[in-house]
Amino acid sequence: MTRFRALVTGCAGFIGSHLSERLLSDGWQVVGVDALTDYYSRRIKRRNLRSLLSHRRFAFHRADLNRMDLDRVLRSIDIVFHQAAQPGVRASWGTTFHIYTDCNLLATQRLLEAVRGRRSILKFVFASSSSVYGNVRQLPMRETQRCEPYSPYGVTKLGAENLCQLYHANYGVPAVSLRYFTVYGPRQRPDMAFHKFIAAALEGKPIRIYGTGRQSRDFTFVSDIVSANVAAAIGGQCGGIYNLGGGTRVILRDALRILERQLGRPIRLVFEEHARGDVDRTGADTSRARRDLLFRPKTNLAEGLAAQIAWHRQMRAEGVL
């Protein structure tokens, strides 16, 4: 198998750290970039980096994509995995929106400009989001349908995705966009639902639910997302857009019952007002990814939650959480 040299932006994050580890285990060389912003605890990000920093085929740059010398870091790179972004639907409103435009739009455009004209770059894999679709009425969501984001975060992810399309159409940048559907698993960010639910349950606190709890999601385990990234780098269609969903749409209340069984303890729910920007339901049509990327999710929700709970307990024991 050919071994590539990859750039992974956001390498200290939830998905980026898993992806970097997978690439190294497959024999790739990895250059990781992460600004280690304070959106959530840097202790978690540094813990995510621990195994990477000890690997001889991994080089790390703590840097801001909007300010670093991208030409230098892209030398000898074959594949770019652009995972870095400012996450969070609820935090994207109001005075913080400029952070989202800087991190999600300007950084992506600057990276695409640096990649443009480099024949050595075989693929530019962009981490997009199901948030680009918005609050749709009909499911499943298909890549061909009109996107109407329901949050400022979704607007910036769609804008960055459109930039990838533009640079492919005008300059031949070999860009592929992957629309992630509710990724969960070990290392999930503290602002994400299952992380908050598990933390509350382990501390004996009630779990806060925004809305009725009848909203549904297409939950996708992190290792399945990582496998799709690797497949997109090797076999994805340049200019293509792919949905990546776990394959089963689950109502939140049902997901919480599964979580309760995995925790082995009852959980209490407190219901609050529906959060602005949160969509009612998601569900991915993954036929494109199945065809081109041979995408077949392997981890069901019960198995995935068990793995996430085990990680959470380990991090509590280490004093990271």
> Which residues are designated catalytic?
153
Name 265's Cβ contacts closer than 8 Å, sequence gap at least 6. Answer: 201
Residue type present at position 180? Y
Edge-to-edge order in the sheet of strand 5-9: 58-62, 29-34, 5-9, 79-82, 123-129, 175-180, 241-244
Residues β-bridged to residue 124: 80, 175
Tokens encoding 246:
């776990």
Segment holding 100, helix H or strand E: helix 97-100
The enclosing H or E element of 124 equals strand 123-129
DSSP states of 7-32 = EEETTTSHHHHHHHHHHHHTT-EEEE
Residue 157: name the closest of 193, 189, 196, 131 by CA: 131
Please give the Cα distance from 285 to 136 (Å, whole number).
Answer: 13
| Rounded Cα–Cα distance for residues 21 and 26 (Å) | 9
User: Residue 237 burial (CB < 10 Å; 0-12/13-18/19+)?
Assistant: middle
Backbone angles phi, psi at 75, to 5 degrees: -60, 130
Tracing tokens 């779990």 back to the chain, one arrives at 207
